[in-house]
Amino acid sequence: MEKVNIETHHLFDDFPKITKQQWLEKAVKDLKGEDPFEKFAWQQGESMELGPYYDGGDVSDLQYLQDFHHRMYDQDSATGEYRDWSNLQIVPMQDERVANAVALDALNNGADGICFDIAKADVDLSILLKDILLQHCYVAFRPAKNPSDWLKEYLQFTQQLGVAPQTLRGHLHYEPIDTEGLATLMELVKDYSGFRVLEVVQSQKSHALSPDKLLSLLLTRIVTVLDKLTEVGFPAEKVLKSCFLSVYLGTDYFLDMCMLKALRVLLFQIGKAYGTTLLPEDFFLYALARPWDDEHYQPHEEILKGTSAAMAAIIGGCSGLSILPKENSPMETRICRNISTILKEEAYLSKMVDPMAGAYYLDYLTDKLVKSGWEVFLKMEQEQTVS
């Protein structure tokens, strides 16, 4: 078989280049005189009108986005992959031994980390975390008690085990707390660079918001946390490193991936405004895919929704990913956990740093989300200042 020199062989040389005008003329002919840009245009949010066709001319003035392509290359990945993300399984906890068994099964069968959703105040950590190697996996918690008290107990437990602070990775979910509570959390993790304690969460009801308003809402929330903590003496860079954003995925494949990329761009902009040296890849975006109930796709709707949402999150640049099962049964939980594993091991998304980089429509949509989200954010900030 003749070997092909991939450096000189251009696959598309045999195909003539088509201009946008040529495409338009052919499309008008096929549509019997109708204009496709009128027939197939649609509105996304309040300020984004999108069309059916994009080419290089539509993104020629978006050179700034080049600086945000291929940002998720992980040269320090423990797995050796170009692109790495944490496959996190949420484990409800009412009984320590049961939750521990579920967590160990998950970690031994594809999960990179666990998020314990704890239903009681008093927990025996020696039972809950038995045989879990905390220095080698990501462990997060949603405690049922005061988050500061919980975190203090957890960190003391890890110290007793001899876990080095710099190896501990995870995060802490909690209901909104005051500035004093946030400051206490920050003090507790001052030596734990890999454990994030400042959650900026997208409300589950916010899916009804337009994309630009959703982005601006997340920015407003993170700026509120920044302002509270910088006013009491914490450096902005330290605050942002302790933040993580919980983002719920929808059912719009391209929009979800562009939303995540736009969010990284906007967070980088916030970091610059506060004088930090953080890069776009330094922000932790935790993507969650909720169950999807659509009788038209039964009995496979969960796999379809989970797979498309996971692909959008991974391609868009998530740092952590949880696919939530409709029912907390072992089979459904296993299916949801395996989606991320299959996309990594069989679809090879871990070997592609940024598959969406340079795609005309996706760059165009990302730019629209960045600019409209920033504009709405500035408007909200101005209204708050005036009030």
- Provide the pLDDT confidence category of residue 291 given band limits of 50, 70 and 90: confident
Residue 261 belongs to some domain of the structure:
yes
CB 106 within 8 A of CB 334: no
pLDDT in tens, 213-222: 999 999 999 9
Residue 237 belongs to some domain of the structure:
yes
Residue 168 belongs to some domain of the structure:
yes
61-92 b/e (C-beta count within 10 Å ≥ 16 → b)? eeeebeebeebbebeeeeeebbbbbbbbbbbe
> What is the average pLDDT across 322-331?
90
Weakest mean pLDDT among 14-18, 270-274, 292-296: 292-296
Number of neighbours of residue 208 by Cβ within 10 angstroms: 8
C-alpha torsion sign, points 334, 102, 314, 199: positive
What token pair was written down for 3?
Answer: 């070997």
- pTM over cut 0.75: yes
Instruction: Give how many domains the chain has, as a whole number.
Output: 1
The domain spanning residue 87 has which CATH number? 3.20.20.240
Which pLDDT score is estimated for 4?
42
Q: β-strands 243-249, 198-201: how paired?
A: parallel
Pairwise CA distance, residues 133 & 306, whole Å: 28
> What is the average pLDDT across 262-288?
96
Which pLDDT score is estimated for 354?
93
Residue 25 belongs to some domain of the structure:
no
CB 292 within 8 A of CB 301: yes
Q: What angle do CA 226, 232, 238 make, to 5 degrees?
A: 50
Amino acid at the residue 312: A
Pairwise CA distance, residues 156 & 240, whole Å: 24
Pairwise CA distance, residues 129 & 240, whole Å: 28
Pairwise CA distance, residues 284 & 195, whole Å: 11
Residue 376 has pLDDT above 70, yes or no: yes
DSSP letter string, 48-112: EEE-S---GGGSTT-GGGGGGTTTTB-TT-TT--SB--EEEEEEEESSHHHHHHHHHHHHTTT-S
Residue 73 belongs to some domain of the structure:
no
Identify the domain containing residue 247 by its residue range.
Answer: 82-386
Residue 24 belongs to some domain of the structure:
no
List all residues 6 or more positions away from 67 whose beta carbon is below 8 Å from its beta carbon. Answer: none
Beta-bridged to residue 291, according to DSSP, are: none
Look at residue 257 and give its three-state secondary structure: helix
Amino acid at the residue 82: Y
pLDDT in tens, 136-188: 999 999 999 999 999 999 999 999 999 999 999 999 998 878 999 999 999 99
List all residues 6 or more positions away from 124 whose beta carbon is below 8 Å from its beta carbon. Answer: 96
DSSP state of 10: -
Which pLDDT score is estimated for 77?
67
What token pair was written down for 11?
Answer: 């696959």
Pairwise CA distance, residues 263 & 245, whole Å: 10
Beta-bridged to residue 140, according to DSSP, are: 115
Contacts 24+ apart (CB under 8 A), 34-37: none
Pairwise CA distance, residues 131 & 243, whole Å: 28
Residue 112 belongs to some domain of the structure:
yes
* Residue 116: φ, ψ to 5°: -80, 120
